[in-house]
Structure 1
């Protein structure tokens, strides 16, 4: 390509910019790096009979089913090779907890505190959560499939190889977060806040609905479809102070 030209692959939509031999801008396409999906294989589990959660507790190879952990304190606890199924986590304190190689299915709760927690190789399936606190958390190889999460707080969190699939996220807060190799597949994203966020290889093309309330200027590391670009055009124009009028 010569100086001042551009090429965009309609299936990718991402553009990398650089300088040509004569100082002009050269645009090259690059394929967005796909997220590595979590694939959790649990061993044979033992039913949990320990009563309440305890701070810094160590839970390995356990099944938590139909339990109510509302208001309990499990700060700093470690969950390894565990399954949590249909458990209530209203106001449950899990700050600094580590959830590793585990599957959480049908959990529900309001105000669950997972601030500065670590979730690695985790599947979160059909969750119903409101106001979950994951600010400063680290999510790596996490699959969020199905369910609905309202007012998810991921401020200053680090997400790497995370997939949101067939779920609804209402007003998620990614302010100051770093998202790398994150994909949204058949996912509804309403009122997202991307203020001061850093996006690297973030694939938004599969989002069933894409609504960014704040931080449109942080979309430079994301890939969107042509249809999404048209949907975002009025908001982008307003962000730029661009007036659109008929001749």
Structure 2
């Protein structure tokens, strides 16, 4: 039997340093809710209404989005450093060509969101709700994730490097070129959703009892 090809890696931009000429204030957006080329540092947007806001080529450092309403917000060509959000409420939001470095997010409500060419680089994520989301070219690198819910999500060219996932939920997930070899997996729910993913031999050993039970195989 011919060997299967390796999964395709996420296609990401270089995330080269850029200049951000203007200073922004998340609590005082323009009337149309659009921001471009602005720098936000140490802003506290707790409880702010940022629904449908559009951020393009913006830089965020040490920003708190605790309780901010980000439904249908868009972030394109943005950079985040040390994002703090006990609760990130951003259902149906859109993220593309964006890097989130050293973020600490307790609960990320990203169901229905679209993520394209996104890098999660370091940090810790609690519950990540990506149900019914669309992920394409997404890389998690050196990230601890307590619970990752990909129920009914579509994930293409998604990879993990030096990550830990305590609980992975895959009900109805549709995976293609999903590379899980760089993730320490402690628990998987609905392992049938692994179809289209790549794991290594050690992971297969750990998952063997779960996969056997899913297939109705009795091991004596």
| TM-score tier after normalising by the smaller chain length | over 0.9
In structure 1, the residue matched to 2:194 is 219
In structure 2, the residue matched to 1:32 is 7
How many Å separate the matches in 1 of 2:27 and 2:81? 19
The alpha carbon displacement at 1:60 in A equals 0.7
What SS does the aligned partner of 2:64 have?
A: coil
Q: TM-score scaled by structure 1?
A: 0.84
Q: TM-score scaled by structure 2?
A: 0.94
CA distance change for structure 1 residues 244 and 152 in 2, over 3 Å: closer, same or farther?
same
Structure 2 unaligned segments of length 5 or more: list them.
none
CA shift digits 1:210-233 (9 cap, x unpaired): 134312001110011011101111
How many Å separate the matches in 2 of 1:180 and 1:108? 27
Structure 1 unaligned segments of length 5 or more: list them.
1-5, 9-28
Larger Rg: 1
The alpha carbon displacement at 1:50 in A equals 3.7
Which of residues 124, 130, 133 in structure 1 aligns to 2:106? 130
CA distance change for structure 1 residues 190 and 53 in 2, over 3 Å: closer, same or farther?
farther
In structure 2, the residue matched to 1:152 is 128
8 Å Cα contact 1:156/1:175 also seen in 2: yes
What SS does the aligned partner of 2:214 have?
A: helix
CA distance change for structure 1 residues 119 and 51 in 2, over 3 Å: closer, same or farther?
closer
Root-mean-square deviation (CA, aligned residues, Å) is 1.6
In structure 1, the residue matched to 2:87 is 111
The alpha carbon displacement at 1:78 in A equals 0.9
CA distance change for structure 1 residues 126 and 231 in 2, over 3 Å: closer, same or farther?
same
